[in-house]
Structure 1
Amino acid sequence: MRSIIDLFRRTRVYEPPSRTVYAIGDIHGRKDLLERLIETIKHHAGRTDYELIFLGDYVDRGPDSAGVVDYLIHSEALQGVECTFLKGNHEATLLDFLDNPEVGASWSTYGGFETLLSYGVQDIGLSKDEARWATTSERFREQLPPAHLDFYQALESFTIRGDYMFVHAGIDPSKPLSEQTDAEFLWIRDAFLSDTRQYDYRVVHGHTPQSEPSQDKRRIGVDTGAYQTGVLTAAAISAAGVEFISTR
């Protein structure tokens, strides 16, 4: 027989954020889609009090990673709007490359090449030559605006609003939140996605691209593969429920 705690978890209703939260999925260098989505969100929100939470992966794969970050830092469209910027695994790898150039060979295969080009780093060696990657890392550091480095270094691993947890990839269902690290927050996939248990929080995440945004009683997924599909998605979360907004 199921315990009362099991029954409670199975039928749990999560407390929504105190104001509307727009959680924006993986941008991956698509500044064009980001600009359009922000305008769509402003129109959707109207005079409603709202905030933006970005779920990470601003860089790599798409054509304008540097432009995306510059927009997030300086755009007038975001002035006066409370924004929270979370870290994705791609930002973590970018920072790692600055201190450990040897990761460049692998990073370049999943989007680092495009990011380096967007910052004006040319003649990028795609070999595993560590000396060449060390030179590329030095060039990247020289080209990286201080405000951009500050942005990357200040990214948060997760944030919570009401009973909703916002994180890039997800959490490990087998571990308490206090024991989890960026290994889970930035990289987890199957162990989180395939689990059926409800958690203390409803988890809002990106990281795993899908053709359409999705939600169930445990989680809300908003990564719609913007760099490849041309669709960037946000989830509007409020007392009224969850509504998906895309740049279709």
Structure 2
Amino acid sequence: MAWADGLPLMHVDAHRIFVHAGVTPEFPIDKQSPHDLLWLRTHSATEYWGKHLCHGHTASRSNPRTTGNRTNIDSACVFGGALSCAVFHDDVAGGPLEFMQTR
């Protein structure tokens, strides 16, 4: 638990933003609130500061799914759905190359 508690709430690389729940586009990326990073469920169509947003927290058996400049990988594993991950190319901007799932 101490290890997980010490992890950052957001990871940003050259092409993407990775968060648990979401971001608020109206605020700069370095001013995001911990609450939104962990609990946000609504997402607006935006460019996310020129990066692709990858998140979970909003479970659906129709996920993983990429919509515009955002990918939701929460495929409702906690409710009996698949456990999913997205595969990205470090040097290529945009969404995932593929999804992998296990039941």
Q: Is it true that 1:229 corresponds to 2:76 in the alignment?
A: no
In the alignment, which of 37, 53, 57 is matched to residue 203 of structure 1?
A: 53
Counterpart in the other structure of 1:243: 98
Higher strand share: 2
Give the Å deviation of 1:217.
2.6
Higher helix share: 1
Q: Which residue identity is paired with 2:10?
A: F
Normalising by structure 2, report the TM-score: 0.83
Q: Is it true that 1:181 corresponds to 2:44 in the alignment?
A: no
Structure 2: state its 5+ residue gaps. Answer: none
Structure 1: state its 5+ residue gaps. Answer: 1-147
Q: Which residue identity is paired with 1:247?
A: T
Matches within 5 A, 1:74-223: 148=1, 150-190=2-42, 193=43, 195-200=44-49, 201-212=51-62, 213-223=64-74
Q: Distance in 2 between matches of 1:230 and 1:202?
A: 25
Give the Å deviation of 1:153.
2.4
Q: Which residue identity is paired with 2:59?
A: P
Q: Which has the larger radius of gyration?
A: 1
Q: State how many pairs are aligned.
A: 97
Q: CA RMSD in A?
A: 1.7
Ranked by relative contact order (alpha carbons within 8 Å, sequence separation 6 or more), the top structure is 1
Q: Percent identity between the aligned chains?
A: 29
Q: Which residue identity is paired with 1:189?
A: R
